[in-house]
Structure 1
Amino acid sequence: MSQATTSMKLFYHVYYNHRIVKWNRGASSGQVVAGGNGEGDRSDPLKYRVDVAIDKDGTMYISDYGNKRVQRWFRGGQSGRTIIENIPVLGVALDDERSLYVSDYGNHSVRKRRIGETIEQVIISGLGYSYYMFVDRNRSVYISEMATDRVIKLDDESTEISIVAGGTQGDELNQLSEPLSVFVDRLDTVYVSDRDNDRIMRWLRGAKPGSIIVGGHGHGSQSGQLNHPTDISFDLDRNLYVVDYGNHRVQKFVIDKSSC
């Protein structure tokens, strides 16, 4: 299960239920907005979708990993349309110029293409099993690499690649263990779901060690514990939402906003 946040709505995609669920703020139940018809390769079902990106019009771009495609679902639509196929896509992201970024898990690369066009560009290759991505306001791309336990940044202008979090496996403050989701705020602070360490990490811009902001006490089901967190996001009030995969729940945390 993973999530995306837009306005005051939360969108969760439930891996083994093959669907995207929308929860309005304060709601006690969700609404299926894509999939939910079992697994399959037709236009309406999904199969092991991993990530979703949502544009300002509410159109969803879904990485339908089990079918090796990216599906586009318009708001209120009953079925999706395949816009990328024959690629085992995990992460998807959008920038402010309506370019779509996809992490090609099988070929260890990230591809970019404008929405509505067929020409695409491989912007980085040779990755160590890239998973989730984040594109900031300057269109720099942050990529989590599970195999190398780090988050890298690809600068849009200089094309320079730098390590912004982790780099070796472990549970020290300068390490990660199978990082998944990454989020970057307006101050270039990097937030990472450190899955195998059951914690959420924060790296201030240029910092070598990070800091633990949630979890880090071993996996468990208490309110301050996590069990293999997979995805993170923030709402407009800068509250942190964590997809606590092993506990089958989503947790909300009020964190120190001084660095946000």
Structure 2
Amino acid sequence: MSQYDQCSLNSICGCLHTINNIDNSICVSLWLTCSELVSCASPNNMCYAPDHICVHHPQCYDHPVCYPLSQANQQICPPMITSSPPLKPSDGICENAIWSTNGTTVAGSDGLGSALYRLYGPWGLFVDDYQSVYVADSKNHRIVKWIKGASSGQLVAGGKGSGNNNDQLNHPSDVVVDSDGTIYISDTENQRIQQWFQGAKVGKTIIKDILSPVGISQDKQGLFYVSDWRKGEVRKWRIGATTGQLVASRLGGPRFLFIDRNQSIYVAEERRDRVIKVDDTSATQFSILAGGSLGDGLDQLLQPYSVIVDELGTLYVADTNNHRIMRWTRGAKSGKVIAGGRGIGSRYDQLSYPHDLSFDLSGNLYVVDYGNHRVQKFTIDKSLC
């Protein structure tokens, strides 16, 4: 968007470009007077006041100013068009598609560590339209972005040690990124969901007092769904709400979840070795779509952590303790191994406790290989489609 373009249903809101990248912007209330703003500190254009970001505001000054992130609240500036949620994979994955046996490492290398070319106990991931990979680097208490082809990641949130300050995270488990580049983080041990605007140095708590948040997903209306592992439930939240709507309860260790284009809810239940779909609004009626008994058979799962669903209704499951990714077509009684499944290990055809998975727009598969502290990419082959 151009500087000052209307970006919200609220006419007092406009677009301000951030100082670090004029292609990045935030949508804020422009109600503040110029005299209320202070200049960014030289030479690095820093904002020392908490919850401020350095922006261009030429209607006020010819130099960058610090703008309060409180004026970017979606309750003040509701979006004109809801940011696109991570509804992947897109169409084009047919029933006969296959994936490469060997994965390629696209994030993390040389084992665990805190350097930006390494990961330490990664959990969730998000793949954007440009094949950039955002990783919840849990034991490093940070979110790292790996641009396609990069040999090292970029720190985009946290990374200042374990803590509950607005510039810190504590064992983050999942991440979602909207079309504006705003990052939403399941900050598990801080029992909150954090929002980080693109380029911001600090985050903002938008949902709090969740006992054990793990998975986070966003629907086409911009609502967030959060799984609470200890409570065994999933709630639907609006930003800034004090209470979420219960949409699934009495679950057995819900980890990651997926919301499809029809806003159907799919959950990986770790403790019950299955994947379910929520059937109605009672929050207690489910269909078992995969697994249901523990084991390594093709009709079984062993502590699954994650699930995604394509437009054919096919399930893709991170079968964590079987060290494999399973594909279950609609209505099938058993699945098929599409990645891993060759025992725990660090070879390119092996996985070690895969935690999360996603697809890019071409249908290539990305897997968080937790035990190997890396993200693996398995290339799709559509030649039989």
TM over 0.5: yes
Partner of residue 276 from structure 2, selected from 134, 152, 163: 152
Q: Secondary structure at the match of 1:179?
A: coil
Q: Which has the higher contact order (CA 8 A, sep 6+)?
A: 2
Is 1:39–2:162 an aligned residue pair? Answer: yes
| TM-score in terms of structure 2 length | 0.65
Aligned counterparts of 2:384 and 2:315: Cα–Cα separation in 1: 10
Aligned counterparts of 1:229 and 1:36: Cα–Cα separation in 2: 23
Q: What number of residue pairs does the alignment pair up?
A: 260
Give 1:119 shift. 4.5
AA aligned to 2:218 is L
Q: Is the Cα contact below 8 Å between 1:41 and 1:47 reproduced in 2?
A: yes
In structure 2, the residue matched to 1:114 is: 238
Higher strand share: 1
Give 1:245 shift. 1.1
Aligned counterparts of 2:312 and 2:279: Cα–Cα separation in 1: 16
Give 1:196 shift. 0.6
Q: Is the Cα contact below 8 Å between 2:207 and 2:241 reproduced in 1?
A: no
Partner of residue 57 from structure 1, selected from 166, 180, 190: 180
Q: Is the Cα contact below 8 Å between 1:140 and 1:156 reproduced in 2?
A: no
Unpaired segments ≥5 residues, structure 2:
1-121
AA aligned to 1:203 is W
Q: Is the Cα contact below 8 Å between 2:290 and 2:300 reproduced in 1?
A: yes
Per-residue CA deviation, residues 98-146 of structure 1 (Å, 9 max, x unaligned), is: 1100011221110002234445200111000101000000000110000
| TM-score in terms of structure 1 length | 0.95
Aligned counterparts of 2:259 and 2:369: Cα–Cα separation in 1: 23
Root-mean-square deviation (Å): 1.8
In structure 2, the residue matched to 1:7 is: 129
Aligned counterparts of 1:203 and 1:12: Cα–Cα separation in 2: 25
Aligned counterparts of 2:384 and 2:228: Cα–Cα separation in 1: 32
Percent identity over paired residues = 53
Farther off after superposition, 119-128 or 136-145: 119-128
Is 1:191–2:316 an aligned residue pair? Answer: yes
Q: Is the Cα contact below 8 Å between 1:71 and 1:84 reproduced in 2?
A: yes
Unpaired segments ≥5 residues, structure 1:
none
Identify if the C-alpha distance between structure 1 residues 157 and 107 changes in structure 2 by more than 3 Å, giving closer, same or farther.
closer
Give 1:256 shift. 4.5
Is 1:137–2:261 an aligned residue pair? Answer: yes
Identify if the C-alpha distance between structure 1 residues 43 and 103 changes in structure 2 by more than 3 Å, giving closer, same or farther.
same
In structure 2, the residue matched to 1:104 is: 228
Q: Is the Cα contact below 8 Å between 1:20 and 1:34 reproduced in 2?
A: yes
Q: Is the Cα contact below 8 Å between 2:207 and 2:239 reproduced in 1?
A: no
